[in-house]
Every structure is written in C-alpha cells, then in structure tokens.
Amino acid sequence: MPRTTNGKAPGGVGMRLAALLAVACLLPGVAAAQGTASVGAVMGIVSSQNNILLEGADVVLEGFGSAYTDSQGRFSFSRVPPGNYRLDVQKQGFGSQSRAMSVRAGVTERVTVTLGGFADPPTSMGGRVSVPLIRQGNSFLVRALLNGRRDALFYVDTGASFTTISSGVAHELGIYVGPGAPSVTLLTASGSIQVPMATVESLQVGGIEARDVQVVVHDLPRGALGVGLLGLSFLNRFQVRLDPDQGLLMLGQ
C-alpha cells in the first residue's frame, strides 16, 4: 500500500508540480518562437559583372552588423529587427554597391548583388560552376556574356528549344536578320510566328562557355528585365541543376 499524508494519496501536489514544471520548460521555446516571428533575416549572393560568385566580399548591413561571403558568394544576417537599412557591399578589385532595403518581421529578404568588374572563372571539380539567379516573380534570370563583349540578362527557360535574343542585341553583335536570313517557326501564346535564326559565336554563363549557339531573334514583351531566354540550345550542352531555394543555377560539363 502506498503511504498517505493527511489522508491524501501521494501524487496530487506532485502531479500538479510536474505539470507546472512541464509548462515552464515549454515557455522558453514559446518565447523563442515569438521572438523569431518578431524579427526578420537577410540572405544574399554577391557576384561579378561576368556572373562569377565572389568569395570574401565585405557585406555591411548598416546599423546591424557585417559579414563576408563564402565560397559560393553567399552571406546572411539572422534575427534582424524590422526596419529600413542600407546594405553596402565591396571587394577589392571590384566596384562597390550600396542600396536601401527593408526588413519585415518573420520574412527572409533575399538579395542579389552584382559588383562592377570581371572575375576569373573558378576552377571547380568536374567543371561545375554555380551561377547566381535573379528572381522576378516566378521567373529567374542569369547574367550572360555574348561574344566576349555584350553583358546581358536572360530568363532561364528549360522549356524553350532555342535561346532567344532581342533584335537590339542582334544588331549590336552584327547579326543580320533581314530578308533572306534563315528562319524558324515558334509557337507563342498568340499563335505561330516566323522568326529569324542565327548563331552566336560565344555564350558564357558563370565563366562556362558554349560555342556556336543557335539562337532566334525575337523581342520579349515591353517591361521585361531580360533581353531574351536562355533555352535548351545552350542548356543542353551542360548538366543543369536549378536550386531556387539557394538562388543558384549549377552548370556542369
């Protein structure tokens, strides 16, 4: 028989105390969750003008702290109080960049920073490079270098058979698109159209180059950030992996 005190079975007070202790143990976790919800975070990627990820760039979130980018050009700040900040990024040998940004409670703000200047392509195992993506709504863009001189933004489109460039870029590259130029039929939302087809001698993304890339010349709708689509005529040359969470396009040879 268990012992009793003042005619009461043991466990009444003990069980109530255990319950209180359990609640007390949970409170720090609740407080932490509430604290996390009341602050934000900033994550970003820094690259050069020719789309090479930059390691060791100095990133300062004014009024909060500083960080250096890792080997994948990434930086992050956690538990940032909501508010307006200035983000300053610099690296020796490259142009610096400064921008205003807002941090919201419970939200991770994602930033892509491009510093002026060209970097040497990285040497990586298996010839694989990681290229920073620029998010626009549900779309992603990358920087590319055409014929070694024309820097441009392209939408990544794994469903497009051809890489597309605008008529303006074609003119800059000296590509003829007048009468008698070869053409191909494209299917668009408004129906099928005939567009000029050409070849770009060199197309580089993240330092990886493809030669003699077939392209079609077609202007994107007004207001588009990119000058064209990066389609399968380029992407099929490589092993491709798209990582939206990290904001990276991986290309391997």
Structure tokens at 128: 């694989």
Q: What is the DSSP letter of 142?
A: E
**What are the chain's domains?**
40-120 (2.60.40.1120), 122-253 (2.40.70.10)
Burial, 10: exposed, middle or buried (Cβ in 10 Å; 0-12, 13-18, 19+)? exposed
Burial, 89: exposed, middle or buried (Cβ in 10 Å; 0-12, 13-18, 19+)? buried
State pTM to two decimals: 0.61
The per-residue pLDDT for 136 is: 86
Q: What is the DSSP letter of 221?
A: P
The per-residue pLDDT for 44 is: 92
Q: From first to last of its 253 residues, what are the pLDDT tens digits of the chain?
A: 333 333 333 343 333 333 333 333 434 444 444 455 799 999 999 999 888 889 899 999 999 999 999 878 899 999 999 999 999 999 999 999 999 999 999 999 999 999 999 887 665 445 678 888 888 888 999 989 999 888 899 999 998 999 999 999 999 999 988 888 888 888 777 788 899 999 999 999 988 889 999 999 999 988 898 999 999 999 999 999 988 888 889 998 7
In which residue are the tokens 């100095």 written?
58
3-class SS string, 22-84:
HHHHHHHHHHHHHHHHCCEEEEEEEEECCCCECCCCEEEECCCEEEECCCCCEEEEEEECCEE
In which residue are the tokens 């003042």 written?
6
The per-residue pLDDT for 202 is: 94
H helical segments located in the chain: 12-37, 167-172, 232-235
The per-residue pLDDT for 126 is: 54
The per-residue pLDDT for 181 is: 83
The per-residue pLDDT for 33 is: 43
Tell me the C-alpha distance between 4 and 6, whole Å: 7
Contact at 8 Å (CB) between 112 and 132?
A: yes
The per-residue pLDDT for 5 is: 36
The per-residue pLDDT for 89 is: 97
The per-residue pLDDT for 207 is: 82
